[in-house]
Chain A
């Protein structure tokens, strides 16, 4: 179905939000890529479309999907957050280490607050001091990793609360509670980005910062909020992983920022800001999860999994380039140089 025929087939007074999302989805090659990948692996392995495996893929997707939601917000407003992977390890550690002293509810709260606080810290450094978000969050990524090892130690820590581990593997039907939480948050984030003032203004900031400032948009506040959300969701991801595993290990989340950024980029968001949406980021998340799982089921070596994902990302970026947007990194740098 083409975009125009889709438009004609719908009544003129259709829900605007829905149209916005649906058209965006049809325009984006990520969904076609996802369908091709699913068809390919379904043909390769009879187990691929089993209920167990689908719930399995969705769970694997949900873990770095939390990060992709937060990163979509940050990227839309023209920034990047590299600290989320390290933050996953830190918050997973905090959520488990604090359980014997604080009890479950307070330690969960502490982990989530720590995530949000790091996000605010990143946002403030970026906005108030005008330092490039790539550098600020790179520093946070390195520093938090060290902090995690200092708090958790080299070895794993077993979660004291059994309720915590039970929640982590709790399912409704065959779908994990973690997966459901992810989809609920995805819907909320989509609503925020498409219908609220914060969402609209975030796009405006990422699209043209100077114009946004001139239009009286409170640029700094919106950007700091997006960093806070990204940190909070990293905290949720850390809690989800440690609950699912029943333990915290300091290396949790290593490299997850790469997966999440890749998912958002695959979803067609320009890393220069102003474009992208969480629904297409979901497409990117699902494509990565399907590739990881499918290549495992197809008995391909783990090394080829990484190669395949690298190639997929490159193809996505080439498609983006063809659509007129320049390549990401140099552009990101010049953009900030211009700002300073």
Chain B
């Protein structure tokens, strides 16, 4: 037992020593003086599920932490709702400086966030939101501005089609922030142009197959009247694209007419836009940007600095014109 403790202590000492050696200069965005040197900070990250998007988020998070010389603890709830609350309690138990959480369930997480709050540990949310009863425990929210990405997708569509166009919307999951706000953003962009008619809007719950069947129904109802499709993400856009290609091949639609734009990027969609076909443009939304903003904010919060309650990362739109200057989506 004693030897074990000694070994553990020696290992800890070694770890501290190496991290001192590795510690980089404090970055420019961090105001001096610091409450704690960066290499003594421990930031906890509670992840809902390390799916492909999550894995990219995690690896970019770890890289950035290494670059800054900050210690991090990443816990994966494996899509188990009670486990995420347990994970957060485990982060509280080890006294991390800030907890970053991507909520798996916006209500179930509130109790655990309350425990973090009463233990004096600040919470930074990344991408997801919590129920109103939990907002009191949240120091800052970081993520994409979904209204803006929806708005940009609408704007690109009009830029491609001109002031007079008939448009259909295929949206994400109703009741989710990304679903509702991207749809609203797209509607707002279209409403600015009196010559533009919105034919219909239906939710595809961010599912490609569902988007495809909705698009098939649109084609049956409106046919060649449709000039543009405003999709809330690349998955939906790719579903609509499959339906359009099939209808064109079957002679039900005139070729090379419809344009599609999307409100959130994916690697597969990026390649499709490069082909200069029906898929016209999308909005870059990188897990790397999400993880970097979350970690940066968590560090500022841990250092006791003032941060904005809502923080958005950059989501630039891209079409064939600027695709070569746009980084390839990492997911």
Contact B90 A249 (CB under 8 A): no
Query: Residues of B contacting A292 with CB < 8 Å?
Result: 86
Contact A296 B75 (CB under 8 A): yes
B107 at interface (Cβ–Cβ under 8 A)?
Answer: yes
Contact B105 A169 (CB under 8 A): no
When C-beta atoms are compared, the residue in chain A nearest to B3 turns out to be: A43
Query: Residues of B contacting A293 with CB < 8 Å?
Result: 86, 90, 93
B92 at interface (Cβ–Cβ under 8 A)?
Answer: yes
Query: Residues of B contacting A158 with CB < 8 Å?
Result: 107, 131
Residue in contact with A246 in the complex, picked from B5, B73, B107, CB distance below 8 Å = B107
Contact A301 B90 (CB under 8 A): no
Contact A251 B93 (CB under 8 A): no
Contact B90 A255 (CB under 8 A): no
Contact A50 B82 (CB under 8 A): no
Contact A297 B1 (CB under 8 A): no
Q: What is the CB-to-nearest-CB distance from B199 to chain A, in angstroms, rounded to a whole number?
A: 28
CA distance A148 to B85 in the complex (A): 22
CA distance A301 to B74 in the complex (A): 8
Contact A247 B5 (CB under 8 A): no
Q: What is the CB-to-nearest-CB distance from B232 to chain A, in angstroms, rounded to a whole number?
A: 18
Query: Residues of A contacting B5 with CB < 8 Å?
Result: 43
Query: Residues of A contacting B93 with CB < 8 Å?
Result: 47-48, 50, 52-53, 56, 293, 297
Mask: chain B, 94-138; 1 = CB below 8 Å from A; 0 = not: 110000000001111011001000010000000000010100000
Asked, given contacts A299-B73, A302-B75, whether A45 binds B94 with beta carbons under 8 Å apart, the answer is: yes
Mask: chain A, 18-61; 1 = CB below 8 Å from B; 0 = not: 00000000000000000000011001110110101100100110
Contact A245 B75 (CB under 8 A): no
CA distance A301 to B75 in the complex (A): 7
B8 at interface (Cβ–Cβ under 8 A)?
Answer: yes
B80 at interface (Cβ–Cβ under 8 A)?
Answer: yes
> Which residues of chain B from 57 to 95 have a CB within 8 Å of any chain A CB?
73-82, 85-87, 89-90, 92-95
Contact A43 B75 (CB under 8 A): no
Asked, given contacts A156-B105, A245-B111, whether A39 binds B8 with beta carbons under 8 Å apart, the answer is: no
Contact B4 A43 (CB under 8 A): yes
Q: What is the CB-to-nearest-CB distance from B54 to chain A, in angstroms, rounded to a whole number?
A: 12
CA distance A112 to B73 in the complex (A): 38
CA distance A63 to B76 in the complex (A): 19
Contact A252 B87 (CB under 8 A): no
CA distance A302 to B93 in the complex (A): 17
When C-beta atoms are compared, the residue in chain B nearest to A51 turns out to be: B93
A254 at interface (Cβ–Cβ under 8 A)?
Answer: yes
Q: What is the CB-to-nearest-CB distance from A287 to chain B, in angstroms, rounded to a whole number?
A: 16
Query: Residues of B contacting A53 with CB < 8 Å?
Result: 90, 93-94
Q: What is the CB-to-nearest-CB distance from B97 to chain A, in angstroms, rounded to a whole number?
A: 13
Contact B81 A245 (CB under 8 A): yes
CA distance A50 to B81 in the complex (A): 25
Query: Residues of B contacting A91 with CB < 8 Å?
Result: none
Query: Residues of B contacting A241 with CB < 8 Å?
Result: 82
Q: What is the CB-to-nearest-CB distance from B164 to chain A, in angstroms, rounded to a whole number?
A: 39
Residue in contact with A252 in the complex, picked from B8, B82, B114, CB distance below 8 Å = B82
Contact B108 A247 (CB under 8 A): yes
> Which residues of chain A from 202 to 244 have a CB within 8 Å of any chain B CB?
241, 244
A8 at interface (Cβ–Cβ under 8 A)?
Answer: no
Contact A56 B89 (CB under 8 A): yes
B33 at interface (Cβ–Cβ under 8 A)?
Answer: no
Query: Residues of B contacting A299 with CB < 8 Å?
Result: 73
> Which residues of chain A from 140 to 198 have a CB within 8 Å of any chain B CB?
155-156, 158, 165, 168-169
CA distance A97 to B79 in the complex (A): 22
Query: Residues of B contacting A39 with CB < 8 Å?
Result: 1, 4
Q: What is the CB-to-nearest-CB distance from A14 to chain B, in angstroms, rounded to a whole number?
A: 32
Closest 9 CB pairs of A and B: A245-B108, A53-B93, A247-B107, A296-B90, A302-B76, A47-B94, A43-B4, A249-B81, A56-B89
Given contacts A50-B93, A53-B93, A296-B87, 6 further A-B pairs with CB under 8 A are: A43-B1, A52-B93, A60-B86, A241-B82, A244-B85, A245-B85
> What are 17 A-B pairs with beta-carbon distances under 8 A?
A43-B4, A43-B5, A43-B8, A50-B93, A52-B119, A53-B90, A156-B106, A158-B131, A247-B105, A247-B108, A251-B79, A293-B90, A293-B93, A296-B75, A297-B93, A302-B78, A303-B76
